[in-house]
Amino acid sequence: MSNLIVKPLKQSNEEGSVLAVTPESAGWTYVGFEVVKLKAGEKLKRNTQSQEVCLVLLSGKANVSTKDAEWTNIGQRMSVFEKTPPYSVYVPNEDLYTIEALTELEIAICSAPGQANHPARLIAPEHVGVETRGKGNVERHIHNILPEGQPADSLLVVEVFTPEGHWSSYPPHKHDQDALPDESLLEETYYFHVQPEQGFAIQRVYTDDRSLNETLVVNDGEAVLVPRGYHPVSAPPGYEVYYLNVMAGPKRIWKFRNDPDHAWLM
């Protein structure tokens, strides 16, 4: 198995965690990512310590509170494939959060270094930027949950719906050089759901010199690490693909470079 694929646990741990990526486990510096599943009535309480956090309610409803704020009965979709924008909560470093599940709940915990520059806040669906990118078989649908135009210290969070038979993160692009204004250095995780769930996605991760050159078969509930290189995704016919992207690096800006071999596609 590729060391770029992170598979979920067969059974969640005592906190409900089913999948976790830390900078240590990924071998990088900035991005942390975790998926927690709770049953109605279960709670998760954590201190953010040095990390800012974006809690994305993938499916289900919850009460969420921090040191100074509380939001009750948030969440509206019971599956990501309902395609309504999610509820999310931004929590700064040196804060704490409590999540109480009101229904079965799947929540993504996105983290990166924080500097306590922004208060905790609710990111409601109406605050999520919705757009369609590409045309034809590269058309995909985007929910900009925490884009660079919205307050945060490090995190960038977006979710993407790729229709069956379509490609996304395409033409292939990369963001692995601290070479602004042309390209930014951003680590990235992809967390996948597939509908119907017995399907799969294909993701390629490769560099110009092919020192990294992997083609991955990704199943429902798995994550992919993109430490560097180009990283296009394909949804096979008959299977719709969802992924949640988390990015962070030394500067909070998304500037990418297209693979010159495929730049003509633009």
Query: Tens digit of pLDDT for each residue in 210-241?
Result: 999 999 999 999 999 999 999 999 999 999 99
Is 256 buried (19+), middle (13-18) or exposed (0-12) by CB count in 10 A?
A: middle
- Burial (CB < 10 A; 0-12, 13-18, 19+), residue 42, is middle
> Which pLDDT does position 78 carry in this prediction?
97
Residue 2 pLDDT: 77
Domains of the chain, residue spans: 5-265
pLDDT mean across residues, the chain: 97
**Pairwise CA distance, residues 107 & 119, whole Å:** 21
**CATH level 3 topology of 5-265:** Jelly Rolls (2.60.120)
Would you state the structure tokens that stand for residue 169, as one six-digit string?
Answer: 């993160």
Q: Supply the pLDDT for residue 266.
A: 82
Distance CA 48, CA 50 (A): 6
Cβ atoms of 225 and 13 within 8 Å: the answer is no
Please tell me the pTM assigned to this model: 0.97
List the chain residues with pLDDT less than 70. 1
The answer to whether 71 and 121 are in contact (CB under 8 A) is: no
Residue 33 contacts by C-beta under 8 Å, 6 or more apart in sequence? 19, 20, 21, 108, 109, 110, 111, 189, 191, 223, 246
